[in-house]
Amino acid sequence: MAVENYPEVWHNGKFIPWEQATVHVASHVVSYGSCLFEGIRCYETPGGPAIFRLKEHVDRLVNSTKIYRMELAYSREELAQAMVELVRVNKIQSCYLRPIVFRGLGEVGVNPLKNPVEIYLLAWKWGRYLGADSLKDGVEVCVSSWQRMAPNTLPAMAKASANYMNSQLIKMEAQLNGFAEGIALDASGHISEGSGENIFVVRGETLYTPPLAASVLPGITRDSVATLARELGFQVAEQNLPREILYIADEVFFCGTAAEITPIRSVDRIPVGKGKPGPVTMRLQERFISITNGKSEDKYGWLTPCAQPVAATR
């Protein structure tokens, strides 16, 4: 997807033009992948733009920095407010927000501790991640030959750029073989997640999802889905899942900030259920979209409203 960016970028406390948001090639992040990030959606609602689960995304970003020993010069509250200001300054109605924290230009070598920590907040337009009709029609996926990181190698609970080298292999293999996405297994052969999405399996009245120990990112949309499923009267179980459950499930779907709630209509060319989006998935999707678009009461306090746009200051 081409980047349809918004013009103002927040960098270490100041707004700068998109064109000036650059990184020196000798920065630690370029050679060693020392970068952490988040993906957050801001939705257009009748009351104006609103950021979905901002607090939880900031918390996860801070947790990632703690795992990788990156000290931030800004509090959680300051980072959250900066993202609200980013929406205001760019006069955004809806967008995808990308906070990035990385090790910049300093010493050369694997040890990152003497390299400065840089923070950028970006925004761009992003539609349906897995295709224009993916939420309505579902997608065809495969089980990847690439597995997720084994425990005690790279921490899957951190949303680190380095982890997405693994994701790239999963994604490229899937798309080159004619699928929209791949599903990776963990080091023990259990279902883990997609290249950039968590996964749920529906059987009867129960939704199953892999546990954090299966090398999955603690997804914020994943948590939202579990909350909404219980609200609708379904049971939610977090447990290890064998590969073959994908082939005999009633329904399977991806979820994530980019993918939102995307039905899976086949796995390895085997139809899931009736080979089309199932009723549970679509009920959850409808409820999720109704809340994020401001058409239903935000009973869980998931939306952070953004006030009227203000002039950018540098």
> What is the C-alpha separation between 238 and 121, in angstroms, rounded?
33
User: Are 9 and 82 in contact, with CB atoms under 8 Å apart?
Assistant: no
Catalytic annotation, pick one of 14, 159, 274, 299? 159
User: Are 73 and 116 in contact, with CB atoms under 8 Å apart?
Assistant: no
- What 160-166 contacts at long range (C-beta under 8 Å, 24+ apart), as own/partner pairs, is 160/33, 160/35, 160/36, 160/64, 160/68, 161/29, 161/33, 161/35, 161/36, 161/37, 161/102, 162/33, 162/34, 162/35, 164/195, 164/196, 165/33
- What 305-308 contacts at long range (C-beta under 8 Å, 24+ apart), as own/partner pairs, is 305/45, 305/47, 305/48, 305/49, 305/50, 306/42, 306/48, 306/49, 306/50, 306/51, 306/84, 306/87, 306/88, 306/92, 307/48, 307/84, 307/88, 308/48, 308/88
User: Are 10 and 85 in contact, with CB atoms under 8 Å apart?
Assistant: yes
- Active site (annotated) includes residue 159: yes
Buried b (16+ CB within 10 A) or exposed e, 280-310: bbbebbebbeebbebeeebeeebbbebeebe
- Among candidate residues 195, 220, 193, 194, the one with its CA nearest the CA of residue 51: 220
Quick one: angle between helices 220-231 and 54-67, nearest 10?
A: 140
Catalytic residues: 159
